[in-house]
Structure 1
Amino acid sequence: MSTSRIRKEVDEALLAYVDRQRPGLLGISPDLVPLLSALDALLGGGKRLRPLFCYWGWRGAGGEDAPEIVNAAASLELLQASALIHDDVMDSSDTRRGQPSVHRRFEAMHREHGWPGAAAPFGEGTAILLGDLCLAWSGEMYESSGLGDGALRRGRAVYDLMRTEVMCGQYLDMLEGARGSGTVGSALRVVEYKSAKYTIERPLHLGAALAGAAPEVSEALTAYGLPLGIAFQLRDDVLGVFGDPAETGKPAGDDLREGKRTVLVALTLERVAEAGAGVLRRRLGDPDLDDAGVDELRGIIEESGGLAACEEMIERYTRRAAEALEAAPITGEARIALSDLAVAATSRLS
């Protein structure tokens, strides 16, 4: 089973699930059409990393290829949709995956219709509700995947923990932004809970639990998944500042405008001279930061050695994951797929 084929089957499973939900929503009111259209647009993008890691966690633990595991894995995309929609509201992000973020989409709809009242609260409120709906549907899709009761019961604890951790990680991310402390240690704590566990380690654990994995398999998947998850987020942090908008789906430098206290920023503040640190602290989080301002901050990050230090961390964590995978007691096909996914997750073009 190739990774591209799994990705295609995940897409098909998501489409089928939302299509099954569509008549129920439209039976409530045709006014819900824009809500479904926004969800369709959001689900149309994405790399499907979480379902892929879940599937290969299942296969690595001895599970056989089956549509039921694809359905269960695909439910993680609805969880991710919920997280992205809410994250964009909290960060006041204008775009997601190369299109308007959900709250901006509904804010624009309010204005286009000339409705009374403020457009922004309508957009934000609608986005929160759609995110909540995706969260509820993620659980429903998991439970209706077709896997047996025993498997679902084994996976449920992992699924619940995954949802708890990502919400705690999101809060810690907001807390760091409010405090403005910006240490490498505090930024890595956010990375671990908001991204590393949520994106890679827990999806692997979920697949393994569904397959009834032995404890040593889950431990090996942690040794691989956690450092890879950290490397994945560090790469995302670099792309959030230096990435090509055509590849990232967000304007260049958006993480700087949003004031994200990333490991990249923390590494820069450890190394930069006081004058550069002052500029970075003053301009980080400025929503009106123009292209020239983005270039100035990029220059500070690069010239201080912060970018090089972050790249070195990515390489170190990726290497640790590769070594753990080599020693992991999992099947050959899964080992190859997880090795390929490690490259995809940390690529400079992700």
Structure 2
Amino acid sequence: MASDGPTGNLLRVVPEQPVGGDDPIAAVLAAYTRDIVVAVDTTLAEFLTAEVDALTAIDPAMGGFAATARDCVLSGGKRVRPTFAYWGWRGAVGGDVPVTPVLPALATLELLHTFALVHDDVMDASATRRGRPTAHVAVASQHAAAGRNGDSGRFGEAVAVLIGDLCMVWADQLLALADLPADRLLQVRRGYDRMRVETVAGQYLDVLGETDPLSWSVDRALRVARYKTASYTVQRPLLFGASLAGVDGDSELAGAYTRYGLAVGEAFQLCDDLLGVFGDPTTTGKPAGDDLRTGKPTALLVLARELATPTQLRALDGAGRRADEPEIARLAEVVLDTGAVRRIERMIDERVEDALAALDAVAVDETARTALVGLAAAATHRRA
């Protein structure tokens, strides 16, 4: 793989068959993301260093708060959204245009993602993220250790909300640093704003579903997946990248990106549904079985209920937030026995096939096409 470094012409040549490692899917993902991840992380680190310094100058406590927000951004993550945006852009401009002018825009998507994650963890009362305490849990622990007044848990949640808000503001600031003509940046911003609205709408439906899971259908669960995940994980980042290149939203390329993005994005969420029940916490960085404990109406669990025998349905309905690991393992077996897992795996495969068909139907830079084919597999057949 050739590269001109983190701010040069990224990934001009990608090997047809990635080598090394025991996991071929991980190897594919690494082949198509390595350089862009380094470039995005470098952009984020430089930007956030200046922002933390500016807030520290106001008050040392502000600096500590900003540093916590910075750490949430930089502490791991696959940089999936900037990667799809990069290949959406590269697919339009070809292999010889330097990426430097659009790097701030690509990195913006990671700040948006951090905003969503931190708020999502508060709403879901999640204890861990990427194998570490979530922001609200970490801040609550610091509050308790310092012996401060007030409820530590409440303080942690309040600060986490502010961290998410700060990341959203930072995202706006970083996007404005993209070196693009003003009219193009305005067009990019329109798509970016639509992505943010769809993300919030999808999150609302996700929260609403937990209040009345028995009324949820597979179709509605897929609608949540479409807006909560597909939109801001794959579809909108691809279109965001295309708009950075000046591609019109009504073009054939934008149409293909939309079809590919919705299909891969939904498949990405369906894979997440499987990992939420069957994933290894040491790999996913999140506790196993949380969806079973909360009765979250994911497509997997709604489908399991639809396919369940009366005995299996009673078992699934008996799950609760206090369920221990042996009980969760037994419930996971019940889900498997309903046949829902095989159905979800088939739905994933069907969506990947549709995504690849969308790419076949449009003219796109061949290296970008190869990358998007590999990323479709990597994003939907993963362990974390």
Q: Structure 2-normalised TM-score? A: 0.88
Aligned counterpart, 1:323: 357
Aligned pair partner of 1:121 in 154, 160, 164: 154
Cα shift readout 1:97-144 (whole Å, capped 9, x = no counterpart): 110000101111111011122111100000000100001111111011
DSSP 3-state at the match of 1:75: helix
Q: Does 1:224 align with 2:260?
A: yes
Matches within 5 A, 1:72-83: 72-83=105-116
Aligned counterpart, 2:310: 274
Aligned counterpart, 2:210: 177
Letter in 2 for 1:201: Q
Greater alpha carbon shift after TM alignment, 192-201 vs 25-34:
25-34
Aligned counterpart, 2:44: 14
CA distance in 2 between partners of 1:338 and 1:109 (Å):
42
Greater alpha carbon shift after TM alignment, 162-171 vs 316-325:
316-325
Matches within 5 A, 1:178-217: 178-180=211-213, 181-214=215-248, 215-217=251-253
Per-residue deviation at 1:260? 1.9
Letter in 1 for 2:180: L
Matches within 5 A, 1:3-82: 3-43=33-73, 44-62=75-93, 64-82=97-115
Q: Structure 1-normalised TM-score? A: 0.96
CA distance in 1 between partners of 2:382 and 2:182 (Å):
41
Letter in 2 for 1:182: W
Matches within 5 A, 1:82-93: 82-93=115-126
CA contact (8 A) 1:182 1:265 kept: no
Aligned counterpart, 1:294: 328
Letter in 2 for 1:133: L
Letter in 2 for 1:137: W
Per-residue deviation at 1:60? 1.1
CA contact (8 A) 2:210 2:294 kept: no
Greater alpha carbon shift after TM alignment, 130-139 vs 28-37:
28-37
Aligned counterpart, 2:279: 243
CA distance in 1 between partners of 2:121 and 2:262 (Å):
25
CA contact (8 A) 1:220 1:329 kept: no
DSSP 3-state at the match of 1:61: helix
Greater alpha carbon shift after TM alignment, 38-47 vs 330-339:
38-47
CA distance in 1 between partners of 2:293 and 2:163 (Å):
25
CA distance in 1 between partners of 2:209 and 2:266 (Å):
17
Per-residue deviation at 1:28? 1.5
Per-residue deviation at 1:67? 1.1
CA distance in 1 between partners of 2:162 and 2:382 (Å):
34
Q: Which blocks of at least 5 consecutive residues in structure 2 are unaligned? A: 1-9, 12-32
Q: Does 1:145 align with 2:178?
A: yes
Cα shift readout 1:16-45 (whole Å, capped 9, x = no counterpart): 110110111101211134323433332221
Cα shift readout 1:51-109 (whole Å, capped 9, x = no counterpart): 01111111111262321212211110000000000000000000111100001011111
Aligned counterpart, 2:194: 161
Letter in 2 for 1:210: L
Per-residue deviation at 1:312? 0.9
CA contact (8 A) 1:51 1:70 kept: no
CA distance in 1 between partners of 2:137 and 2:150 (Å):
16
Cα shift readout 1:186-233 (whole Å, capped 9, x = no counterpart): 101100000011100000111111211141110011121110110011
DSSP 3-state at the match of 2:93: coil
Letter in 2 for 1:288: R
Letter in 2 for 1:269: R
Greater alpha carbon shift after TM alignment, 10-19 vs 63-72:
63-72
CA distance in 2 between partners of 1:91 and 1:257 (Å):
11
CA distance in 1 between partners of 2:70 and 2:224 (Å):
30
Q: Does 1:130 align with 2:166?
A: no
Cα shift readout 1:281-332 (whole Å, capped 9, x = no counterpart): 231xx33221012111101100010111111111111111111112222111
CA contact (8 A) 2:300 2:341 kept: yes
Per-residue deviation at 1:259? 3.1
CA contact (8 A) 2:53 2:63 kept: no
Query: What root-mean-square deviation, in Å, do the aligned CA atoms of Structure 1 and Structure 2 show?
Result: 1.3
Per-residue deviation at 1:278? 2.3
DSSP 3-state at the match of 2:323: coil
Which structure's residues are more often helix, by fraction? 1
Count the aligned residue pairs: 348
Letter in 1 for 2:286: K
CA distance in 2 between partners of 1:267 and 1:156 (Å):
38
